[in-house]
């Protein structure tokens, strides 16, 4: 079973790996997604306990002993699960990630051209059409 220290080391490594190969948040084709995650934390709380003392009673004429109850608190610790939120960068709709960049996705292949925006081809000279597959007519 992993120790708390090894879990923390793994979390730090995963964050560092994520930072080294992440999308540029200033790229206009990168969108932000907020995601929740849970972590195990050690938290402190005040634990009450009843302290009983045996003292002489208030009436000095008796020899009886009286029990006095006093509630005191001590700090205790417990494991808890905490939900937190973090930003995650992902390509906006119509784009996909390629080598840490968001590039446009064209559902049809740009036959004689290149994809410049979602489902928009830029045709090479002499070609036209949505997918750059039609030859331009000579005039």
Global confidence as pTM: 0.52
77 in any annotated domain: yes
Q: Alpha-carbon distance 41 to 43, whole Å?
A: 6
Residue 56 inside a domain? The answer is: yes
C-alpha of 28 from chain center: 22
Task: Output the average pLDDT for the chain.
Answer: 83
Instruction: Check residue 71 and give its pLDDT.
Output: 80
Total count of domains within the chain: 1
pLDDT of residue 22: 81
Whether 123 maps to a domain, the answer reads no
In a domain, 81, yes or no: yes
What is the per-residue pLDDT for 136?
Answer: 87
Q: What is the pLDDT of residue 17?
A: 47
CA 34 remoteness from chain centre: 7
Read off the pLDDT band of 19 (50, 70, 90).
very low
**Residue 114 pLDDT more than 90?**
yes
80: tokens are 């808890």
Is residue 12, in this structure, part of any structural domain at all? Answer: no
The string of pLDDT tens digits covering residues 115-127 is: 999 999 999 999 9
3-state secondary structure of 28: coil
- The predicted model gives 8-19 an average pLDDT of 54
Residue numbers of the domain that contains 52: 30-92
| H or E element at residue 16 | helix 4-20
Instruction: Determine, yes or no, domain membership for 115.
Output: no
* Spatial separation of the C-alpha atoms in residues 23 and 88, rounded to whole Å: 9
In a domain, 22, yes or no: no
Res 35 pLDDT > 90: yes
What is the distance between the alpha carbons of residues 50 and 35, in angstroms, rounded to a whole number? Answer: 44
Average pLDDT over residues 7-30: 67
């Amino acid at each position: 079973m992993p120790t708390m220290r090894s879990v923390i080391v793994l979390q730090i490594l995963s964050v560092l790996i994520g930072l080294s190969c992440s999308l540029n948040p200033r790229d206009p084709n990168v969108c932000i997604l907020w995601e929740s995650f849970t972590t195990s934390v050690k938290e402190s709380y005040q634990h009450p306990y009843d302290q009983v003392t045996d003292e002489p009673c208030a009436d000095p004429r008796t020899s009886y002993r009286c029990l006095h109850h006093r509630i005191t608190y001590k700090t205790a610790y417990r494991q808890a699960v905490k939900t937190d939120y973090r930003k995650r960068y992902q390509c906006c709709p119509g784009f996909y990630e390629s080598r840490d960049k968001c590039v446009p996705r064209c559902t049809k292949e740009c036959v004689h051209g290149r994809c410049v925006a979602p489902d928009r081809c830029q045709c090479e000279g002499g070609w036209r059409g949505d997918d750059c597959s039609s030859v331009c007519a000579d005039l």
